[in-house]
Copies of this chain bind each other. A is one copy, B any other.
Amino acid sequence: MQKCIKCNSVDGVIRSGFLRGKQRFFCKLCNFHFILENENARLPQKATQATIVDLAKHLGIAASTVSRALNGKADISPFTRKAVMQAAIDLDYRPNLLAQSLNKGKTNTIGVVIPNVELPFFATALASIQQVAIDTGYRIMVCHSSESEAIEKLNTETLIACRVDGLLVSHSKETTSFEHIQRVLAKSIPIVHFDRVCNEIDTPKVIHEDFKGSFDLVEHLILQGCRKIGVMLGPQKFYISQIRLEGYKAALQKYGIEVDEKYIYYSEMNKNDGTKAFEYFINLPNPPDGLFAMLSRNAIEMMVEAKKRQIKIPEDMAFVGFGDDILCELFEPSLTVFNHFPTKVGEAAINLLIENIKNKNTTSSTIQSVQGELVIRDSSFKGKS
């Protein structure tokens, strides 16, 4: 029925079970098990990338010697070393980082989880993170969650599956459960939160002055004469929303202004939410004379609406936003903002993480706050100081 692939005889061949879905045979004559392979399974494979073993064979020496020569270890004669180096160039050898990492137990790679690269804050922070990483010999692997909790969790899994040495995390706006972070901690993988941190878990964090920035902006509005100050926040559960709201309230309290819930507007931080927020505020029985938006983009969207309605800025209505941006500077009127220096935040975060990777003593519960700066511009400045 079936020729034995070893002795070519037909007589002794019997069927012998199924292996991975395929019929298996057994030749009683040569005492050999086999399966019929489909022919094209064994294509030549064209090994394109030279390995250490290739170098070793090429030179007629042991692979271990090649490795030591390449890595500049002792125990190698100058002659051998030179030969190995030359062979590496000739064969265009590149070390396989996968194998190296597997062997060494570390990847020299840092995983970065951010909600959205299209937000200028994260783009800039990311750029600075990458720069520091390069300078310190690390690679980064960036995942963005597109503001989705599910994707954020997926990304975290992926990164720990890739065995990154550490994690830099900024949560999506909809993230409310943090088991994925707990799991990272349980495996004692160093992690640092930045910007959108999670206050329910004890991790090192780098934040900016959310409270102070918010406070300063609102105080500035008050000093410019505003008394009815509206605030546009992100989602209500969102940690940053809460902190910034506290800053807002504190400033009002300092000047004896009562907090009116009607002046607090929560949003999903989507593209045209500023427009919606303005609609809301302007239709209040007693519209605000000052508006503070958590994202400066939203503040600008609101100003666009205000200009459409011939509202004078800043006289009739003043605007301030959180986070600086080229748009804030170039828009007319230019927007008063609290600059939270994304570059500094990124740098602080990765430096803290690298430190934690190196000294395994997991100095957690460090909280670094990056100093920000109030930038007063035309959208709110009425000449008072």
Residues of B within 8 A of A140 (CB): 142
Report Cα–Cα, A131/B157, bound state, in Å: 17
**Do the beta carbons of A92 and B163 come within 8 Å of each other?**
no
**Distance from A315 Cβ to chain B, minimum over Cβ atoms (Å):** 18
Residues of B within 8 A of A134 (CB): 151, 154
**Do the beta carbons of B92 and A98 come within 8 Å of each other?**
no
**Distance from A213 Cβ to chain B, minimum over Cβ atoms (Å):** 22
A297 within 8 A of B: yes
The 8 A CB mask of A84-120 against B (1 = contact, 0 = none) is: 0000000010111111011000010000000011101
Beyond A97-B163, A327-B330, whether A20 also contacts B73 by CB under 8 A is yes
Question: Considering only CB atoms, which chain B residue lies closest to A75 in the complex?
Answer: B20
Copies in the complex: 2
**Do the beta carbons of A124 and B118 come within 8 Å of each other?**
yes
**Do the beta carbons of B331 and A49 come within 8 Å of each other?**
no
Question: Considering only CB atoms, which chain B residue lies closest to A307 in the complex?
Answer: B332
- Interface size, chain A (Cβ < 8 Å): 61
Question: Considering only CB atoms, which chain B residue lies closest to A107 in the complex?
Answer: B98
Report Cα–Cα, A174/B161, bound state, in Å: 36
**Do the beta carbons of A161 and B95 come within 8 Å of each other?**
yes
- Give residues of chain A (131-182) contacting chain B, Cβ–Cβ below 8 Å: 131, 134, 139-144, 146, 151, 154, 157-158, 160-163
A48's partner among B48, B107, B187, B304 (CB-CB below 8 A) is B187
Beyond A92-B186, A96-B102, A141-B141, whether A75 also contacts B19 by CB under 8 A is yes
Report Cα–Cα, A22/B380, bound state, in Å: 70
A127's partner among B146, B160, B183 (CB-CB below 8 A) is B146
**Distance from A70 Cβ to chain B, minimum over Cβ atoms (Å):** 13
The 8 A CB mask of A1-21 against B (1 = contact, 0 = none) is: 000000000000000001111
A269 within 8 A of B: no
Question: Considering only CB atoms, which chain B residue lies closest to A100 in the complex?
Answer: B161
- Give residues of chain A (44-84) contacting chain B, Cβ–Cβ below 8 Å: 46, 48-49, 73-75
Residues of B within 8 A of A96 (CB): 102, 161, 163
Report Cα–Cα, A214/B212, bound state, in Å: 47
Residues of B within 8 A of A374 (CB): none
Question: Considering only CB atoms, which chain B residue lies closest to A22 in the complex?
Answer: B74
A residues at B contact (CB < 8 Å): 18-21, 46, 48-49, 73-75, 92, 94-99, 101-102, 107, 116-118, 120, 123-124, 126-127, 130-131, 134, 139-144, 146, 151, 154, 157-158, 160-163, 183, 186-189, 297, 300-301, 304, 307, 326-327, 330-332
Task: Given contacts A98-B162, A134-B151, A139-B158, list 20 more A-B pairs with CB under 8 A.
Answer: A20-B74, A20-B75, A48-B188, A48-B189, A92-B187, A94-B160, A97-B161, A98-B98, A98-B163, A102-B102, A117-B127, A118-B124, A123-B123, A127-B144, A127-B146, A139-B143, A142-B142, A297-B326, A307-B332, A331-B331
Residue pairs across A and B with Cβ atoms less than 8 A apart, 11 shown, are A48-B188, A92-B183, A94-B160, A98-B107, A98-B162, A98-B163, A130-B144, A130-B146, A140-B142, A297-B326, A327-B327
The 7 A-B pairs with the shortest beta carbon distances in the complex, nearest first, are A97-B161, A98-B102, A48-B187, A118-B123, A117-B123, A142-B142, A97-B162
